[in-house]
Structure 1
Amino acid sequence: MKPLVVVVVVVVVALAAAVAVALEVGGDLGAQQEVEALLAFKQSADWNGGRLRSWGRGSNLCTQWVGVSCVKGRVSKLVLEDYDLVGGIDSLLRLRSLRLLSLKNNALNGSIPPDLTNWRNVKFVFLGGNHLSGSIPRSISQLAHLWRLDLSNNRLSGPVPSSMDALTNLLTLRLEGNELSSALPPLAHLTMLNDFNVSANQLRGTIPKTLERFNASTFAGNAGLCGSPLPRCASILEPPSPAPSPDHTIDPPPPFRAYVPSSLAMPSHSNDTSMGDAVVLVLMTSMFLVYYWRRSGRRGRKFEDRSSSSASGFGSQLDQQSKHGTYASKPRTLVFVGGGGSGQAPSFDLEHLLRASAEMLGKGSLGSAYKAMLVDGYVVAVKRLKDVTSTSRKDFEQHIELIGRMRSPHLVQLQAYYYAKDEKLLVYDYMPNGSLHSLLHGNRGPGRVPVDWTTRINIALGAARGLAYIHQESGSHKIPHGNIKSSNVFLDRNGVARIGDFGLALLMNSAACSRLVGYRAPEHWETRRISQKGDVYSFGVLLLEILTGKAPVQRDGVHDLPRWVQSVVREEWTAEVFDLELMRYRDIEEEMVGLLQTAMACVAHSPDARPKMSQVVRMIEEIRGNASPESFDSQSQLSSSQSEGA
């Protein structure tokens, strides 16, 4: 038996070695194939031998060949625009690792290869402004990762393939200036399509309803196309009315007369008629006033009934959840801090608050939150704290007063608090536009309105300013937020980002602190302490959430989002990390990469390597200083920047 085991082991080791050698040789062969493919392209395309002179066997493909970029020794980008290149592109199909191909504004000819499966990982194809002919191959549907396709201003003919409907990630489809014919396919599954143009072709038929959302210029120059947004198709126009026979006359329509009630008609010259009209007008006015008085009286009585009863009010909700009796037996003292909400003097007391109509907004690790509407229509948010440490009333009040003195346009302002041994309430300004979490992750299905880049970076800057303010204003106390997460970043009525729940983590007992779901820094799991350096880490995760559109998930005590982003960036596929919703905007790649670099600095493993929040604010301000137009132009998007081509 033993000799047999030895033989098996030897065979397995030999096979493993053979596989390793084969993989290594295969990798080398793949790189060599790419060299040969590019040299074949150069031979046919660079007709004068001058534009691609850096391409040669004696030079490094990835570092010295113009227009070529590599990842792990394989060609990932080929960008040669306005190079006077001629010939076909068939040889480039051997570039199996290609992500970005941009050969715009050359003189390339021939047809697009019929089998494009070798490019199944490509994301950007820009071939506009050449002399390509033939049809668009059906195999284009195999490019499942394709985001942008520009084949404009060529000599392509035939139909627009219905197989393109499989390109569900497509943001850009530019086919204008060709000789395409037949009817347009519905392309119903291209819901992300934002930049679309088929003008100046030979298309005909009715524009599909799924494409009616684009403007008329998208379809202009196709004499056979009709239907919205172009004029209606002749086949669906109502037939003209038959001409009348000679012995039949058609009466002209009666002149238009607006209907006016007799009581409001212009008076005649008769004094009796004028008097009658005046009486009618007075009676109508009187009836209206009586009706309005009765209705407002009923509304007032209902309002008084609601305000005088706490059976369904906020106090009743608290009593139903309380284990310590009703509020009728508690001290009725609501302490205002910092002059009340937004610096105004308080206009309500605890009695008003307990009689307010209320609805629960949610339950969190710090307690339950309510929306309370006072009898005068004023709305506040109330946080009912739980698991507060057994600190003295004096210590609690001193801490809350310190929080209350923090006044910034980027903080959710604390207005007042209520303290009892077994109950503690905090009253805040109400934020009507919800949280960043709901904005980013709510309704990710069909019909969702994407969150544009300007909104995201403004929220990032506002939240950074709010957190920096907390760190600076607390002075020697060095108060951390302790629970930074997207559900604690709120938007006020003007859409300004405000940090909520700041400073409360220090009031919680150790068991409650361990349950906080903010984006914890690595050192927290060893020290179990919250700190301002930990806040910076948490804010870095928040920035990654804004950039990626992904909600951080905690696994084994660590949030996975920084890990994932670091692994992607390490492989140089930087564009993979960005939310697909952001890819429809132009001229923002540099800003996105800048914010990504800021985020990565914040999530450094070592606390000492992380910047201060004041520095983070300056970083984002410098990024935001650049213009961020809210439209996309695929013609020039990648000419100046290739950062997203990975």
Structure 2
Amino acid sequence: MAALPFHFTVPIIYIFFLSHFILLVQTSTTPDFNALISFKNASDTSKKLTMWNTTSDPCTWNGVSCINNRVSRLVLENFDLQGSILPLTSLTHLRVLSLKHNRFSGPIPSLSNFTSLKLLFLSHNAFSGDFPSTVTSLSSLYRLDLSYNNFSGEIPATVNHLTHLLTLRLENNQFSGHIPGVSIPNLQDFNVSGNHLSGEIPESFSGFPESSFHQNPSLCGAPVQKCNYTVADPNKPGSEGAIASPVSPLPTVSSSPSSLPSNEGPSSKTTHKNGNGGSKISHVGLIAIIVGDVLVLAIVCVLLYCYFWRSYSKKLREGKGSKLFESEKIIYSSSPYPAQAGFDRGRIVFFEGEKRFELEDLLRASAEMLGKGGFGTAYKAVLDDGNVVAVKRLKDAQIGGKREFEQHMEVLGKLRHPNIVSLRAYYFAREEKLLVYDFMPNATLFWLLHGNRGPGRTPLDWTTRLKIAAGAARGIAFIHNSCKSLRLTHGNIKSTNILLDKQGNAHVSDFGLSIFAVPGGSSNGYRAPEAIASDGRKQSQKSDVYSFGVLLLELLTGKCPSSMVDSHSGSGTIDLPRWVQSVVREEWTAEVFDIELMRYKDIEEEMVGLLQIAMACTAAPDQRPRMCHVVKMIDELRGVEVSPCNDMLDSASESPSLSEDACGASQ
């Protein structure tokens, strides 16, 4: 065979290497690329995963989310996928796997590689075989839903290993045998209805509603019908001990004395012969029997009352000890069915135009604690549909009546601005007060400034610091100008309340909550002197300006305001503004700035300019500028277009739904 001419050979070699190079680039994007492609080729017979192709980044495919180029979340629901999920078992960094409403079949392969898995939803498929044994080795699992499949066999007692489990749904399968007597301390959502289970329901599951067990005719015990304990025939092989089965109706017994069995014999003293040779119970004997029955019934009622009251009291105590969001890592509920236990559940109130969800969706959400603040604890909550919200539980707040709370939330919920974290909904009940916000994914200013100081840290550059300062100033100025009749304040400005979105834009959070502050709260290094002298709740827009000035000093110095040590005495603390003033007074201005900023050139003038703005903000109250003037000064420093203070974007016009009537509603 003749060799190809050179001018043909070169393009072929080039195409060959180019195709291999493209494949190499794609597979190097994420080590999970091949597993995803194998899964698509085997399962997507309907060709619905059109975005899954070899020319795009797998982390941008629909249903796929990544962390550090490893697939962490795979949500493919209602895609008509089928076959086996075996190719997915190599996704070792997976945290969420949801394949609900597809046509997968066959046994579940080993899932032991999913050591980080927290949520597993495989309902409404055609999986079969025994309960997947490797699931019980997933110690981090919070939610497990295998409902509406064809699983059979017994539910293994090893589910007890899933100590973090909050949801266990196994309904509408073919499971048989007994429900294992396990104890999963935090279980909220449990359902085994529509199976072939038998025997007595373990006490650890008796607190769930009857609907969790229905369509299992051979189940008995609380909360379904009582068990009838019958002694097995010892002559039958394999029969021993007592067998629990549902109670059968007792035969009707006539109350006529003639229907009672006769008591014949020489020792009988309570009967007498009638004319027909029969026997009848005397009136005294009959009364004694009735009185005896009444006494026995009364004793049984007292015992039952004591037993159930003690059990009910215990549940109440446990409910009060494990309320919503009680854990540091996960959202909990005092009970999945608080209405049955007599709790005031309240309702989630959404603001106009916001996407709505149910309280149960929030309770089922996978969540982790973001941090604790002056008004409570904040959580990141991942809903079942993939939406992410931030939830603040107002645990340490001093809240008055419901009407006052709702009116104030109505004002805060209508504030919309690119540099504030929007309040999307709130929840009010006697036991819980929750606020639902947008989730900001890029941490806080505090973490960017102070987190991981030392070797290997990526410093926060000057341009980013100046951008964050400008964004935060605009957000605070908007809050101040949005409702002039109320003169709204933030009341808790600090670096942990400046959050960043995906683009690095600053968003101010926790605004307007200072009215719920506990009187006499301690200073955190940001609070104005006049606010410290008051009871802690009398915040003003001037005190907000002071707090923002401290925030600017934190950006410039890299020092945490709450941990400043007095360099003169060597002990005790000194607030950051006083320390800066003392250094500047001695003409050591260069010593003020963060050493991490020294690597950048030609920024000294801008740093000194921002320092002057910060010192003006932390001056005496009557000498502090308004926030709109602070925005103007920072914009001038950055060289961007400046708007007059009375014609800024930071006005109520950016929240068209917020009117003066709405402002006055909370007065």
- TM-score of the pair, normalised by structure 2: 0.47
Larger relative contact order (CA 8 Å, sep ≥ 6): 1
- Report the structure, 1 or 2, having the larger helix content: 1
